[in-house]
Amino acid sequence: MQLPDSILTCIRALEEAGFQAYVVGGCVRDACLGLAPHDYDMCTSALPEETEAVFAGYRLVLAGKKHGTVGVVMDGEVVEITTFRTEGDYLDNRHPEWVEFVTDIEKDLARRDFTVNAMAYSPTRGFADPFGGREDLKNGILRAVGDPAKRFQEDSLRILRGVRFAVRFGFAVEENTLAAMDSQAHLMDNLARERVYDELCKLLPRMKATDLLEFAPVLCRVIPELKPMVGYDQKNRHHIHDLYTHTALVVHHCPNDLALRWAALLHDIGKPQVMILGEDGQAHYHGHAAVSAEMADGVLRRLKAPTALREQVVTLIAKHMMLPQPEKKYLRRHLGKLGAETMENLLTLQEADTHATGTTHDMELTLFSNVRAILSEIQAENTCLALKDLALNGHDLMALGYQGKAIGLELNRLLNLVLEEQCENTREALTAALEKET
Q: Tell me if residue 157 falls in helix, strand or coil.
A: helix
The CB-of-26 to Mg ion minimum distance in angstroms stands at 4
Contact characters 152-191, ligand ATP, x per CB under 6 A: ---x-xx---------------------------------
The CB-of-27 to ligand ATP minimum distance in angstroms stands at 7
By beta-carbon distance, which residue lies closest to ligand ATP? Answer: 26
Contact call for residue 246 and ligand ATP (CB under 6 A)? no
Q: Tell me if residue 103 falls in helix, strand or coil.
A: coil
Contact call for residue 85 and ligand ATP (CB under 6 A)? no
Q: CB of 273 within 8 A of CB of 293?
A: no
Binding at 158: pick from Mg ion, ligand ATP, none (beta carbon under 5-8 Å per type)? ligand ATP
Residues 330-359 close enough to bind ligand ATP by CB under 6 A? none
The phi-psi region of residue 239 (left if phi > 0; otherwise alpha if psi is between -120 and 50; otherwise beta) is beta
Question: Residue from 117, 177, 245, 348 that binds ligand ATP (CB under 6 A)?
Answer: 117
List contacts with Mg ion (CB under 5 A): 26
What CA–CA distance (Å, rounded) separates 191 from 203? 17
Q: Give the pairing of strands 141-142 and 172-173.
A: parallel
Q: Which is nearer to ligand ATP, 32 or 316 (CB)?
A: 32
Query: Which residues touch 386 (CB under 8 Å, ≥6 apart)?
Result: 336, 337, 415
Strands, E assignment, 211-320: 276-277, 283-284
Binding at 334: pick from Mg ion, ligand ATP, none (beta carbon under 5-8 Å per type)? none
Binding at 113: pick from ligand ATP, Mg ion, none (beta carbon under 5-8 Å per type)? ligand ATP
For residues 31-55, b (16+ Cβ closer than 10 Å) or e, as one string?
bbeeeebeebbbbbbbbbebbbebb
Q: CB of 275 within 8 A of CB of 283?
A: yes
Q: How many residues in the shown chain lie near ligand ATP by CB under 6 A?
A: 10
The CB-of-113 to ligand ATP minimum distance in angstroms stands at 4
Question: Which among 53, 50, 58 is positioned nearest to 77, based on CA atoms?
Answer: 58
Contact call for residue 112 and ligand ATP (CB under 6 A)? yes
Binding at 324: pick from Mg ion, ligand ATP, none (beta carbon under 5-8 Å per type)? none
For residues 62-92, b (16+ Cβ closer than 10 Å) or e, as one string?
eeebeebbbbbebeeeebbbbbbbbbeebee
Q: Which is nearer to Mg ion, 165 or 197 (CB)?
A: 165
By beta-carbon distance, which residue lies closest to Mg ion? Answer: 26
Contact characters 14-53, ligand ATP, x per CB under 6 A: -----------xx--------------x------------
Query: Which residues touch 39 (CB under 8 Å, ≥6 apart)?
Result: 26, 27
The CB-of-130 to ligand ATP minimum distance in angstroms stands at 13
Question: Residues in the site for ligand ATP, rule: CB under 6 A?
Answer: 25-26, 41, 112-113, 117-118, 155, 157-158
